[in-house]
Amino acid sequence: MSLELAGVERAYGDATALRGVDLTVRDGEFFTLVGPSGCGKTTTLRCIAGLETPDAGAVRFDGTDVSGVPPEERDVGVVFQHYALFPMMTVRENVAYGLRFDPPAEKSVEDRVTELLALVDLEGMGGRDPDALSGGQRQRVALARALAPAPDVLLLDEPLSALDARLRDELRLELTRVQRELGVTTVYVTHDQSEALAVSDRLAVLNDGRVEQVGEPEAVYETPETRFVAAFLGENNCLDGRAVGGETKGSTVRVGDASFAVTGDHRGAVTCCVRPESMDVNATHNRFEARVADVEFLGDGYRVHFDWNGRSIVARLDDAPTGRVTLGFDPDEAVVLER
C-alpha cells in the first residue's frame, strides 16, 4: 500500500504542529520521518494512523482519501514509544487482541499468534504478563501485536528510544529484517539521525512542521538542500561567506580572510558546509591554519575541535594533533547552499 500526505496541517490551539506536509511513501518502503522534538513527526504519524484529524489537507491510502476514517477502520499497525502493552492481558492475549476484529482467514488465532511470537523470537513467552518482560522483550511483543492482523501499513513511533544503546542496535537490525521479510509499507519516526540513516530506504527530514528534504539516506546526507538538513543529519561545519565566482570549473567562497575553492557556479551570500571527516591535515586545497581547542578520543579516531579566528571547526582525524595545525578540504567535498 502506498501513502500520500498532501498539504496536511494540524494546530493545537495557538501552537501549530504541522504547516502543510507533503509526502509520498511507496509500497513496501521503509520510510523514516526524522527531526528534532516538536518538529511534527509524531503528529504526522498519528495523522496517518487516524489518531489525529488534520485541520487541512488529505491523507491517502493507495490514492483513496481516508480523512474521517477512524483508526480501527484503517489497516494500520502501530508500535508506540512506550510499548502501550495492555497490562491486564498476557503476551499471547496482547498479540491476539487485533485478531478479535480481524480473524485470520486460513489459520486459527492460536497458530497466528504462535507464528508472530516466533517471528520476534519470543517463542514460549506467551503466558507471561507484560510486567514480567524486559524492555526489549516488551517492544518485540508490541511489534508482534501490531503485525498480527497483517496490516497494510506499519507505523513505528520512536520504538527504540526507551532502550539502552546495545539493545537498540540489536533490535534495529531485527526490525529491518522483519520489515524486509514481510515487505510491509513502514513509516518510522525517530529523532535519532544516525538511526534514520541506518534503517531507511528513504527518509524525510522534518523541521518546525514542514518537510525540509526527502530522499535516500546517502543522497540527503551527501547533498543536503538546506542548512538545517546539513547540520541535523550528521555533523557539519557550516561556514557563512560570499561566493564571488570567477574560476573556470567552480566558484570562490570568501569566509573571513580566507578564500575557498568550491565546485559549481555560485553567487552572493552562501553557506559552505564541510563534513568533519572531509577535513584533512594533508589536504592540498583550501588550506587554513587553526588552533586545537579540544580533543575527544572515539576509539576509531579522534574528534578534534579547532578554533579558527573565533569560528569553531570540527574534524575527524586519525591522530591527535596539538598546537596550531593546517587543515584543508577538497573542493568536491564542500556543499554550498544559497542563503
Partner 1 sequence: MVPTDRTALSRRLDGARTHAAGVADAIGARGAFLATCCVLLVVFYYPVGTVLVAAFTRGGDPSLAPLWATLTDPFYFGALAGALADPASVPGAIAEWAEAGFPAVRTGLFGFTAFLALLGTAGAVAVGLPGAYVLARYEFPGRETVRSLTVVPFVLPAIMVAVGFTTMFGTNGALNDVLSLVGLSVDVAFGLPIVVAALTFYNAPLVTRFVVAATETVDVRAVETARTLGAPRWRAVVDVVVPQVLPSFLAGVLIVFVFDFMAFPIVLALGGLRLATVEVWIYSLASDLRIPEAASLAVLEAAITLALTYVYLRVERRGGRDTATASVPRVPLLGPPSAGRLLALAYACIALVLYVGPLASMVAESLTRGGSLSAANYAFLLAQQLGSGGARPTVAVSNSLLFAVGAVALAVPMGVSVAVVTGGEGRLRRLSGALLMAPLAVSGVVTGIGLLRGLVFGVDLFGYHLAVTGPVAIVAAHAVGGYPFVVRNVAPLLARVEDDLVAAARTLGAGPTRAFRDVTLPLVAPGVVAGAAFAFAISVGEFNATIVLARDGASYTMPIALERYLSNPSVGPYLGPAAAMGTVLLVVTAASFVVVERLGGRWER
Residues at the site binding partner 1, with contacts judged by CB under 8 A: 12, 36-38, 42-43, 46, 49-52, 70-72, 74, 76-78, 80-82, 84, 86-88, 97-98, 100-102, 145-146, 149, 155, 191
Minimum separation from the CB atom of position 101 to partner 1 (A)? 3
d(CA 70, CA 63): 17
d(CA 201, CA 199): 7
Minimum separation from the CB atom of position 78 to partner 1 (A)? 4
d(CA 205, CA 218): 13
Minimum separation from the CB atom of position 175 to partner 1 (A)? 18
d(CA 281, CA 289): 10
Which cell numbers in the block locate residue 312?
569553531
Minimum separation from the CB atom of position 131 to partner 1 (A)? 13
Minimum separation from the CB atom of position 326 to partner 1 (A)? 31
Closer to partner 1 by CB, 50 or 241: give it. 50
Angle value at C-alpha 259, between 253 and 263, nearest 5 degrees: 45
Closer to partner 1 by CB, 70 or 245: give it. 70
Nearest CA to 155 among 183, 189, 127, 109?
189
Nearest CA to 17 among 245, 240, 210, 280?
210
Count the helices and strands in the chain (H runs, E runs). 8, 19
Minimum separation from the CB atom of position 89 to partner 1 (A)? 9
* The residue to which cell 494540524 is assigned: 10
DSSP, collapsed to helix, strand or coil, labels residue 104 as: coil
Nearest CA to 317 among 326, 331, 304?
304
Q: How many CA atoms lie within 13 A of 91 on its CB side?
A: 27
In order, the DSSP letters of 137-199 are HHHHHHHHHHHTT--SEEEEESTTTTS-HHHHHHHHHHHHHHHHHHT-EEEEEES-HHHHHHH
Minimum separation from the CB atom of position 191 to partner 1 (A)? 5
H or E segment at 14? Answer: none
Closer to partner 1 by CB, 96 or 171: give it. 96
Closer to partner 1 by CB, 76 or 335: give it. 76
Burial 292-328 (b: 16+ CB within 10 A, else e): beeeeeeeeebbbbbebeeeebbbbbeeebeeebebb
